[in-house]
Structure 1
Amino acid sequence: MNAMKWTLAAAVLGSLGTAQAATSGEGELVAALNNTEASGIVVTPTGRTFLTLPRAGSNHAFPSVVELVHGKQVAFPDLATTTNTGKPLTDWLVSPLGLTLAGNTLWVLDEGKRPGIDGIPDGSAKLVGIDINSRKVTKTIVFHKPFMRDSLQLNDLRIDPDHGAEGTVYISNNGYSSPSDCSLIVVDLATGKMRELFHNLPQTSPAPGFMTYVEGQPHAYSLDKPTMPQGGVNGIELSPDHKKLYWTIPTNPNYYSIDTANLSDFNRPEDALIKDIHFEGQVASNGGIAVDDQGNLYFGDASRYSVISRDSAGQFHLVGRDARLIWPDGLYWQGGYLYVTVGQWQRVPGLHGGQDLRKAPYDILRFKTAKPAR
């Protein structure tokens, strides 16, 4: 499809609208996209829903960020910012993955990766802030080379408003290379100063010998012959008081946290920061993570087609189980519901001898969340 044929209102590209009721334990269908899979998701307190449609799996011509409006995908903030119209790479969203909301600003993390294009061209990887009301881009921070390597995958992000003059951004780098090239990245919003930390440490890396189930079949982590999505630190989330950052690794059962007062301090030596990392325990989590206003954490577990929560006492609870959860990817909690984008990254050609097994619809589900007793 020619991207220029899109109008601001966009075409109907899936079954969207009022969530469809489900049986107990199953999710409600929020949207079934027929064009391409979504990754990041944000739902505002007023119910506005935003999605990223990354191009890392296929270099599609659809808008890369959309808002779901009355059963339609609407390019957000506009077509010129979300499609390739010949503008400089710094001026449009090439392949955004991560998405989060801070106040009225939607923050978009652009990994800049597209198949058929060598590496990650300078200017394509960036952080972009967009006012959801005015639809204006308010800030752009580009990850230029040599800081931005072709082996980095800027995956997810969270905004800490309590540290730094304008806030601090924490980014998970999942890593593209073999062996892995994974880390956490810290960015000062006011100055654009950035710092890479915990590069290829056990606390951010795949675990040797890791095995899990994907779509009912066992898969082992393998650098030489990967059969499932692989990489390092992926899901990240802030506690409601912004004092702690959590992260998970899809190919490592351990998950960790660190105090943001230390992580945001650009003067604190990395050796000291490594000692600040806290082992939280073990959990199955193959994509993003989320938190509610009570501090309960949420994880997606593809091996059991489920989403689970961890309360403040460290106890785990089943939120829901649904056969459609073949790869729970982006998670976002809002208003008593956990929203989940269902990816098909495990079906990409690179894992199946060049055969693309992905197929529509690409579901977005939500699950009613109960507040565990405290």
Structure 2
Amino acid sequence: MPIARRDLLAGGLTAAALSTTRPAEAQADAAPAAAAAASTSRPAGAMELAHLVQAPSTPTGLAISRGGRVFVMMPRFNAEVPITVGEVAPDGSVTPYPSAAANAPDRSRPQSALFHVPNGVFDRDDSLWLLDAGLPEGKGPPVPGGAKLVQVDLGTNAVRKVVPLEAGITPASSLNDLRVDIRDGRALAYITDQGQGQEGAILAVDLASGRVVRRLDGHASTKSQKGIVKFVEKRPVMLRPPGAKPQPVSGGANGIALSPDGRRLYYAPLMGRRLYAVDTASLLDPEASDAEVAAGVEDLGEKGLTGGLIADSRDRVYLSLQEHNAVGRRDPDGTITVIASDDRLVWADTFWITPDRWLYVSAAQVNRRPEYNGGTDQQTPPYAVLRLRIDADPV
């Protein structure tokens, strides 16, 4: 990346200056310092601990209301996960939301039960939208009728609307992330499907009519890219069943972000180092063929291995740099800067930007789950939610 090249150049220039402008004895004294300067990475900004969440399971998703209410989403990686959506109290405890009954994965009421919610977001009216992938055991075909968007009214804590997603999924779907765009007479949603194998896709949803379109199914930009290994906490993340050979992890279209004007969708595979963008109008255009949509995909280049993404009002995309316990930022000109890092940011996952210009990010500890550690659960609750100040507003 450009930033790494600048770091290397800076280190080389520093060493060169020390060796050419000082006398020999000074050069000898300065050599250890020069070596240290050349080998030390550029420091990133500090992060502040915002919450310690006593979640009963891995909290990948995060959403914060304008009034400061904090919600976490805990996908049902298996049937033992007790709840999939919770509200975080000031003391860090988590209460099922919108109710314990709603969190019961009841196959007999697929439109009202919450099965597997990896993420949720607030719209501009501060209404909470939950993405349910319909996977009560984290894998296998989604429960018929279980994949949906659920709109919850914060004032009453009651479900206001359910939008079925059945028309956009496949038996191998694993819906992952969500952006909602309600303004100027439009009501739209965009969803990533990372799949349960190598294939991925993007779903575009007209929230008013309920129309769902599956786009970029199996396209190179939504596929899990082969030959990639993610390193988190200095260890390769591999599926490690007890007594079996480690297997590579796969994951298609995962994080997404919406441009300030809503005209561009940024996205990336979980297992992929490149960032992509597509024109949102084409996704729901009934006249646009799949080939035409695919032809409009932009490859925005290298961005590291990430989970969640988010854009700010200046059209800068924030990157959860999972291999580095860090947060990156991609400017519109393509420049990527590491703006913060923290050892507590283990498996940086979902971002949220609040109106007072705090950027929040969840530390989900996914790499410590049993499936990546020979059946041993190495997660250490409470889970951290960290934050840092930024100089822009939410989209």
Indicate the TM-score class for this superposition, using the shorter chain for normalisation: 0.7 to 0.9
Write the distance in 1 (CA, Å) between the matches of 2:279 and 2:323: 30
Out of 191, 196, 201, the position equivalent to 1:176 is 196
Deviation at 1:302, TM superposition (A): 1.5
Counterpart of 1:70 in structure 2: which amino acid?
P
Out of 239, 244, 253, the position equivalent to 2:264 is 244
Out of 290, 308, 322, the position equivalent to 1:302 is 322
Q: Residues 219 and 227 of structure 1 are in contact (CA less than 8 Å); yes or no, is this contact kept in structure 2? A: no
Out of 271, 274, 278, the position equivalent to 2:294 is 274
Matching of residue 80 in structure 1 with residue 101 in structure 2: yes
Write the distance in 1 (CA, Å) between the matches of 2:135 and 2:351: 22
Out of 125, 143, 160, the position equivalent to 1:121 is 143
Counterpart of 2:265 in structure 1: which amino acid?
L
Q: How does 1:48-197 map to 2 (within 5 A)?
A: 48-57=69-78, 59-62=80-83, 64-71=84-91, 72-84=93-105, 88-102=109-123, 103-115=125-137, 119-144=141-166, 147-161=168-182, 167-177=187-197, 180-197=198-215
Matching of residue 354 in structure 1 with residue 375 in structure 2: yes
Deviation at 1:182, TM superposition (A): 0.9
Partner of 1:27: 48
Counterpart of 1:129 in structure 2: which amino acid?
Q
- Cα-to-partner distance string for 1:115-168 (whole Å, 9 max, x where unaligned): 388642212221111122232212112233x753331101011112358x6512
Q: Residues 248 and 285 of structure 1 are in contact (CA less than 8 Å); yes or no, is this contact kept in structure 2? A: no
Name structure 1 gaps, 5 residues minimum: 1-22
Partner of 2:63: 42
Write the distance in 1 (CA, Å) between the matches of 2:107 and 2:186: 32
Write the distance in 2 (CA, Å) between the matches of 1:84 and 1:279: 39
Q: Residues 228 and 351 of structure 1 are in contact (CA less than 8 Å); yes or no, is this contact kept in structure 2? A: no
Write the distance in 2 (CA, Å) between the matches of 1:269 and 1:183: 15
Query: Secondary structure of 1:94's partner?
Result: coil
Write the distance in 2 (CA, Å) between the matches of 1:110 and 1:270: 25
If the length of structure 1 is used for normalisation, what is the TM-score? Answer: 0.83
Q: Using a 3 Å threshold, how does the CA distance of structure 1 residues 205 and 27 change in structure 2: closer, same or farther?
A: farther
Query: Secondary structure of 2:261's partner?
Result: coil
**Percent identity of paired positions between Structure 1 and Structure 2:** 26
Write the distance in 1 (CA, Å) between the matches of 2:246 and 2:257: 27
Q: Residues 168 and 264 of structure 1 are in contact (CA less than 8 Å); yes or no, is this contact kept in structure 2? A: no
Deviation at 1:49, TM superposition (A): 1.6
Name structure 2 gaps, 5 residues minimum: 1-43
Write the distance in 2 (CA, Å) between the matches of 1:328 and 1:270: 33
If the length of structure 2 is used for normalisation, what is the TM-score? Answer: 0.79
The more displaced of 340-349 and 91-100 is 340-349
Q: Residues 77 and 138 of structure 2 are in contact (CA less than 8 Å); yes or no, is this contact kept in structure 1? A: no
Partner of 1:201: 219
Write the distance in 2 (CA, Å) between the matches of 1:225 and 1:217: 16
Write the distance in 2 (CA, Å) between the matches of 1:115 and 1:94: 8
Structure number with bigger Rg:
2
Deviation at 1:257, TM superposition (A): 0.7
Query: Secondary structure of 1:274's partner?
Result: helix
Deviation at 1:234, TM superposition (A): 0.3
Write the distance in 1 (CA, Å) between the matches of 2:63 and 2:287: 32
Q: Using a 3 Å threshold, how does the CA distance of structure 1 residues 176 and 108 change in structure 2: closer, same or farther?
A: same
Higher helix share: 2
Partner of 2:22: none
Write the distance in 2 (CA, Å) between the matches of 1:111 and 1:341: 20
Q: Using a 3 Å threshold, how does the CA distance of structure 1 residues 251 and 58 change in structure 2: closer, same or farther?
A: same
Query: Secondary structure of 2:367's partner?
Result: helix
Higher strand share: 1
Q: How does 1:275-290 map to 2 (within 5 A)?
A: 275-290=295-310
Q: Using a 3 Å threshold, how does the CA distance of structure 1 residues 225 and 262 change in structure 2: closer, same or farther?
A: farther
